Structure 1
Amino acid sequence: MTSVRILAIEHERGTGPQRFGEWLIEAGAEVVVARPYVGEVIPELGSFDALIVLGGSAGPTEDNENPWFPEVRHLLRRSIAGEFPSLNICLGGEMLAVAGDAPIWRRSHPQIGIYELGITSAGASDPVFGALAGGGPTGAGETEGESLPSVLFHQEEMALPPGAELLITGSDAPVQAFRLGEFAWGTQFHPETDAAQIARWLDGNDL
């Protein structure tokens, strides 16, 4: 039986898929990591079933320093249009927001640490994030009862793209997860990371 093939785009050293990669491999998927920052070519998506765009310290439009960024945003516009599913984390989520015509700005202070977030009513019925819902039904845009402790490690902040569904919110950067179209998901928080990776980020060893 042919396994699901997933392309993960890593933007800088130390920002790999971590737990996501392990979970996907355990589930029988093949995860191929492309590292354009060391000169690797981003493969054609035709031979892959899905895309993951990972985090990094750059802003989502810093194309001069990261010349592959326009190609990634083009892939994300294709995902928004429904060509293939994508999950886009932190910088990846910001790039998805830009691809969906949302503004991005630099915060005066970064968010670093564990923050209490909550799933919205739209998130409770979402095919990806619905599994995290804990409380009863709420009104549009309100959060479910159960809190969701989450890792935030970002300087940029994004608005909700036009037509997007807000799935997870909280803190003073309220757009924490959203979906554009049927198959493109973006997060500001880091669902993929683990304690060892965060320690390296804080030490500056992988940034």
Structure 2
Amino acid sequence: MSAGTKRLLVIGHDYLATSGAIEGRFAERGYEVESIRVVPSDRFDDPGVDVDFPDPRDYDAVLVLGARWGVDGDEVASWVKPELELLHTADEADVPVLGICFGGQMLAQAHGGSVGRSPVPEIGPHVVSGEPAVAGIWTQWHYDRFVPPADATVIGVNAAAPQAFVLRRNLAVQFHPEVDADSVAAWMADGGAADARDQGLDPDVLLDHIRSLDDDIRVRAAALADYFLDVVAVGR
């Protein structure tokens, strides 16, 4: 790990990826943030890019964000494999990793769990039960779900899917603590409105609901980042 200024590597996978209040809390805690985007905007229709990922051992923590593609998709195999190797390297070096949605699924896949189609897609705010750091209403947007590794500790669940697990210095969450109404509005404009309607949801009502939660979510997202840094990252 680095000496002096703490460094956070943020791995985003598409142009809609945002780290929002989670990244903000890392910055407040003294982290210098370095971000990479895996798939350029001109390759979204052909996302099988070759990526030279940074060495996670050069950082004090890694944040892996969501993605529009599935972990097992053939179209993204060119970069999913090296990203899984990055997660293995981070784990072996005790570099803490926080994975969100697709990022959480990647942690499951990397460490002996699995990812599969969820029988109940979750679009919009849904309740999560579990440890105080993850319990409450969070915005969701997923069709797949992870099966945690056998040696992981599940700390969050709901009826649709496992929602959070801890494994050594890794924290995986299925929900999106980093997003607010503005970021979801961008998702809506990029096909998300159709996703919502397919689930019988009114996009405008859904967005209003998410906006009503924004202030509370920002506070709880900061608390979740604190839990990651103060409990998971130090191996408590």
Answer whether TM exceeds 0.5 for this pair.
Answer: yes
Partner residue, 2:137: 149
Partner residue, 2:209: none
Task: Report the CA distance between 1:204 and its aligned residue.
Answer: 1.5
The gaps in structure 1 that reach 5 residues or longer are 133-146
* Alignment partner of 2:129 out of 108, 113, 118: 118
Deviations 1:105-142 (A, max 9, x none): 123552101111111xxx46xxxx3xx6xxxxxxxxxx
* Alignment partner of 2:152 out of 157, 164, 167: 164
Pairwise mapping of residues 16-95 of structure 1 onto structure 2 (< 5 A)? 16-38=18-40, 41-65=52-76, 67-81=78-92, 83-95=94-106
**What SS class does the counterpart of residue 157 from structure 1 fall into?**
strand
The gaps in structure 2 that reach 5 residues or longer are 41-48, 194-236
User: Does structure 2 conserve the Cα–Cα contact (< 8 Å) formed by 1:76 and 1:184?
Assistant: no
The runs of at least 4 consecutive aligned structure 1 residues that moved more than 6 Å come to none
**What SS class does the counterpart of residue 46 from structure 1 fall into?**
helix
Change (3 A) 1:97 1:41: same
User: Does structure 1 conserve the Cα–Cα contact (< 8 Å) formed by 2:108 and 2:114?
Assistant: yes
**What SS class does the counterpart of residue 60 from structure 1 fall into?**
coil
- Name the CA distance, whole Å, in 2 between partners of 1:185 and 1:118: 16
User: Does structure 2 conserve the Cα–Cα contact (< 8 Å) formed by 1:53 and 1:92?
Assistant: yes
Aligned CA RMSD, in angstroms, stands at 2.3
Deviations 1:159-182 (A, max 9, x none): 121111001111321x100011x2
Task: Report the CA distance between 1:66 and its aligned residue.
Answer: 5.2
Aligned length: 182
Partner residue, 1:201: 187
User: Does structure 2 conserve the Cα–Cα contact (< 8 Å) formed by 1:104 and 1:159?
Assistant: yes
> What residue identity is the alignment partner of 1:153?
W
TM-score by length of 1: 0.79
Task: Report the CA distance between 1:75 and its aligned residue.
Answer: 1.8
Greater RCO between the two (CA within 8 Å, min separation 6)?
A: 1
Identity %: 28
User: Does structure 1 conserve the Cα–Cα contact (< 8 Å) formed by 2:57 and 2:95?
Assistant: no
**Which structure is higher in helix share?**
2
